[in-house]
Structure 1
Amino acid sequence: MRLWLIPLLLIKLISATPTPIVLWHGMGDTCCMSFSLGSFKIFLEKNIPGVYVLSLQIGNNTVEDFENGYFMNPNLQVEYVCEKLAADPKLSNGFNVMGFSQGCQFIRAVVQRCGHKLPQIKNMVSLGGQHQGIYGIPHCGALRHETCDDVRKLLNYAAYNSWVQNSLVQATYWHDPLDERTYEANSVFLADINNVRTVNKTYIQNLNNLERFVLVMFDNDSIVQPKETEWFGFYAPGQAEKLVSLRESKIYLQDRLGLKKMDKAGKLIFLSTPGDHLRFTEEWMIKNIIKPYLSS
């Protein structure tokens, strides 16, 4: 073989390798159970031959992973994941990220807070994320558990208490439209990553470095309230009935996250699918997510 062909072959091999995918599971779930993200990881590997899929485990085992979805402050989780991704050599040429439910806003925080310290994050797919927060938890996740009732009661009465904010994950993205001032002042996670109090230009730049930001809303979602938060919509301030879309919201009109700029550039993709929270068919996933955003 001629020596000058070797670099060309190496380039071809590298370019033919699918972009790795990082998954972050939702509340009441874990990284690797066969009935949830474990089977989805296998599904991705089957449909994208040769792809490296990292399903994030927050903790040393699946029990810790499950518990941390309720009790480990997201700011600490994001810091943990940033370090984990930076240390993974299989991600060194760039990767895509996909979040499920609360994992969507957590992986978005990774993009915003440490994207400039990581290899290129190409596309982000958000499946049922709560990007403008939640105001109500009718159910909670793949596993029905008495913890859900305790979480719901606590959030209704003390979501912005400093102890609750630092001890209960769901409180950190609780968004009370009847008390916007308290939310803005005391939310330790969501108000920060949405640039509510101040505008962090690094957050804007890192988010805008994405090639595509894909937002998936589930039309018949009975878990996330309101479901429009999955497209960055939310209740208008002062009440909990009238909804304001992303393009009508302050975060967009003031471009506090650069979403308006991304929208104008065609980087924001809004998709919806029938069904309840995180319910989709394999055919829909292949056609709408895998082929256009994850397979190259």
Structure 2
Amino acid sequence: AMRKRSALALPPLLLLLLLCARPAQGSNGSLPLVMWHGMGDSCCNPLSMGAIKKMVEEEIPGIYVLSLMIGKTVTEDMKNGFFMDVNEQVSTVCEQLARDPRLKGGYNAMGFSQGGQFLRAVAQRCPSPPMKNLISVGGQHQGVFGLPRCPGESSALCEWIRKRLNSGAYTDLVQKHLVQAQYWHDPLNEDLYRTHSLFLADINQERAVNESYKKNLQALQKFVMVKFLQDSVVDPVNSEWFGFFKPGQDVELDTLQESTLYKEDRLGLAAMDKAGKLVFLASDGDHLQFDRAWFNANLLPFLR
């Protein structure tokens, strides 16, 4: 990748200076990147996370990219995206990041789909090592109310998940053992959601305001949210920009700025917005569909 980059038309002397200025061990002094995949995916799928890891490594030679594997194998990792308690997943990741000497000086984080809200939980709960920028690519920060096209697995599994969510998303059994139930947000039953949502209601300060969550999230330099304008997987798609249905119905939508969370600034998002720390990006494709040119133009600047 380095050979490719040096083929740019740079004057030989400048090129020599640039090469000499590069720190030792092939590192370019860039912050490491931690990535968390979405539902039905795994850390190392060569067509998804593996390809993105490779692309980032080509664009930023010497960068350390850690694509999180939840479990001991790729198969386990994929299953855990459906069935492992999210709070357990988050604490496992926090331990892994704290043990990694390469992350000591801080890191950037990029979450894809549900990995977006999981990495936000890491930012809020685990300030050490420090997360610098959080990039949420199609993450559902106010949860979902529907799974119109659940990706990555057979339609039979999706159908089974849908039935569980519709019949009892907030029963203890379903909450504990079905990942998607833990960010299921029923606007017709807000009280039920607030009381029984094991994960999302907690990180969104629905029950009480945890001051450390607020302080830790505000320590981010940038919180970047990517919304896919043709998204056929996330319902409502507004959740990708931290918006949601107005309470009590499932037709009209509120933006983040119209929500109680923002107006009461329960999570520090209003303060972050005023400080220019929130970045709202749109991509014209379906869920997680973007090309390299779009990625390089829109997301790469936050990783350099």
TM-score of the two chains, using structure 2 as the length reference: 0.91
Hey, what does 1:22 align to over in structure 2?
A: 34
Superposed counterparts of 1:118-267, under 5 Å: 118-267=128-277
* Match of residue 36, structure 1, among 48, 55, 70: 48
CA distance in structure 1 between the aligned counterparts of 2:244 and 2:69, rounded to whole angstroms: 30
CA distance in structure 1 between the aligned counterparts of 2:91 and 2:249, rounded to whole angstroms: 34
| Aligned amino acid, residue 106 of structure 1 | F
Superposed counterparts of 1:68-83, under 5 Å: 68-83=80-95
* Match of residue 51, structure 1, among 60, 63, 73: 63
CA distance in structure 1 between the aligned counterparts of 2:24 and 2:151, rounded to whole angstroms: 42
| Aligned amino acid, residue 110 of structure 1 | V
Conserved 8 A contact 1:160-1:186 = yes
Deviation at 1:16, TM superposition (A): 4.0
> Compared with structure 1, are the counterparts of its residues 205 and 63 closer, same or farther at alpha carbon in structure 2 (3 Å cutoff)?
same
Deviation at 1:141, TM superposition (A): 2.4
Deviations 1:36-71 (A, max 9, x none): 101111011011111000000000001110110011
CA distance in structure 2 between the aligned counterparts of 1:97 and 1:11, rounded to whole angstroms: 23
Hey, what does 1:294 align to over in structure 2?
A: 303
CA distance in structure 2 between the aligned counterparts of 1:148 and 1:77, rounded to whole angstroms: 21
Conserved 8 A contact 1:216-1:230 = yes
Deviation at 1:15, TM superposition (A): 9.3
1:61 aligns with 2:73: yes
Percent sequence identity is 53
> Compared with structure 1, are the counterparts of its residues 145 and 35 closer, same or farther at alpha carbon in structure 2 (3 Å cutoff)?
farther
Deviations 1:86-125 (A, max 9, x none): 000111111000000000010110110111xx12211000
Deviations 1:8-49 (A, max 9, x none): x99899994111000000000000011110111101101111
| Aligned amino acid, residue 196 of structure 1 | E
**Which 5+ residue runs of structure 1 have no aligned equivalent?**
1-8
| Aligned amino acid, residue 293 of structure 1 | F
SS in 1 for 2:35: strand
SS in 1 for 2:298: helix
Deviations 1:206-245 (A, max 9, x none): 1000000000000000000000000000000111000000
Hey, what does 2:6 align to over in structure 1?
A: none
| Aligned amino acid, residue 232 of structure 2 | S
CA distance in structure 2 between the aligned counterparts of 1:119 and 1:220, rounded to whole angstroms: 36
1:275 aligns with 2:285: yes
Deviation at 1:145, TM superposition (A): 4.1
SS in 2 for 1:216: strand
CA distance in structure 1 between the aligned counterparts of 2:242 and 2:184, rounded to whole angstroms: 14
Q: How many residues align?
A: 284
**Which 5+ residue runs of structure 2 have no aligned equivalent?**
1-20
Deviation at 1:281, TM superposition (A): 1.3
CA distance in structure 2 between the aligned counterparts of 1:96 and 1:41, rounded to whole angstroms: 13
Conserved 8 A contact 2:145-2:235 = yes
* Match of residue 98, structure 1, among 79, 86, 110: 110
CA distance in structure 2 between the aligned counterparts of 1:253 and 1:28, rounded to whole angstroms: 35
Hey, what does 1:284 align to over in structure 2?
A: 294
> Compared with structure 1, are the counterparts of its residues 15 and 119 closer, same or farther at alpha carbon in structure 2 (3 Å cutoff)?
farther
Deviation at 1:192, TM superposition (A): 0.1
| Aligned amino acid, residue 130 of structure 1 | Q
TM-score of the two chains, using structure 1 as the length reference: 0.93
Deviation at 1:159, TM superposition (A): 0.2
CA distance in structure 2 between the aligned counterparts of 1:16 and 1:62, rounded to whole angstroms: 30
CA distance in structure 2 between the aligned counterparts of 1:70 and 1:44, rounded to whole angstroms: 27
